[in-house]
A and B are shown apart, each in its own frame.
Chain A
């Protein structure tokens, strides 16, 4: 099973700043089958990024994904108030596993 480790656990930032979230896999993720989700309190997760770098439908371009192999990054440029949430990565190249999440909180 591929284990995904997300860091940091919590990121404290101000609106307008850039957030950089990391997701590291215990083995190489085939074909960059890596997705990112956003989850707000009381809501279901929402797909942001798939294939490591492709934005899902309706996702603003301040969200971007990058990486390959075992190291992946989600970048949120110019944080908006609605971006403060928990973010999860998921790999779907070998079975299906999620990272433990990174909470982006208001500083």
Chain B
């Protein structure tokens, strides 16, 4: 069974950092692009960042560019999101999702399937 399990969320003060992790199982992790998508509780979905299979193509939403860094460790079947300079507006449930489709040299044109259950990040003083 394909499974994605996020961890690392929590309460953090504005300006501080947090690192999210996503553990993948049930599929060949290094065959797929991976993404982070977030959702403010009760609101819509926002794509945050994506990375292709070998980390050669990485892209970010403008809202997080320069503050967040996506990475992966194929040997550990794991995806990460380093979040620095956190803002109140970064408060959301962060989902890890497998990307299906193709990746160019700069971005991945992917649909998402499946998704993890999410980890909640709350930025508040």
Real complex partners, A and B? yes
Q: Are B115 and A92 in contact (CB under 8 A)?
A: no
Contact between A101 and B114 (Cβ–Cβ < 8 Å)? no
Q: Per DSSP, are chain B's interface residues mostly helix, strand or loop, or mixed?
A: strand
**Is B110 an interface residue, CB under 8 A from the partner?**
yes
- Assess the A96–B47 pair: CB atoms within 8 A: yes
Contacts of A63 in B (CB 8 A): none
- Whether B117 contacts A56 by the Cβ 8 Å rule is no
The A/B interface has a contact count, at CB < 8 Å, of 57
Q: Flag whether A16 is at the interface (Cβ < 8 A).
A: no
Could you say which of A33, A45, A95, A100 contacts B112, with CB atoms under 8 Å apart?
Answer: A45
CB-based nearest B residue for A86: B44
Question: CB < 8 Å: which of A35, A44, A97 contacts B117?
Answer: A44
Check A35–B111 contact: CB distance below 8 A.
yes
Chain A residues within an 8 Å CB radius of B50: 96
> Which of A35, A56, A95 lies in contact with B107, CB distance below 8 A?
A95
A43 to B115, CA, bound (A): 10
Q: Kindly state the interface size class of chain A when it binds its partner.
A: 20 to 34
**What class of interface size applies to chain B in its complex with A?**
20 to 34
Q: Is A72 an interface residue (CB 8 A)?
A: no
Q: Does A50 contact B (CB under 8 A)?
A: yes
Nearest residue in A to B48 (C-beta to C-beta)? A96
- Select from chain B the residue with minimum beta-carbon distance to A34: B111
Q: Is A90 an interface residue when CB atoms closer than 8 A count as contact? A: yes
> Is B89 at the interface (CB under 8 A from chain A)?
no
Binding site for A on B (CB under 8 A): 35, 44-47, 50, 59, 95, 100-101, 107-118
Instruction: Provide a sorted-by-A list of 27 A–B residue pairs whose CB atoms are within 8 angstroms.
Output: A33-B109, A33-B111, A37-B45, A44-B95, A44-B116, A44-B118, A45-B45, A45-B95, A46-B113, A46-B115, A47-B111, A47-B112, A50-B100, A50-B111, A88-B44, A90-B45, A92-B101, A92-B109, A93-B109, A95-B47, A95-B59, A96-B50, A98-B44, A98-B45, A100-B44, A101-B44, A101-B45
Q: Give the 3 A-B residue pairs with the shortest CB-CB distance, closest first.
A: A44-B115, A47-B113, A96-B47
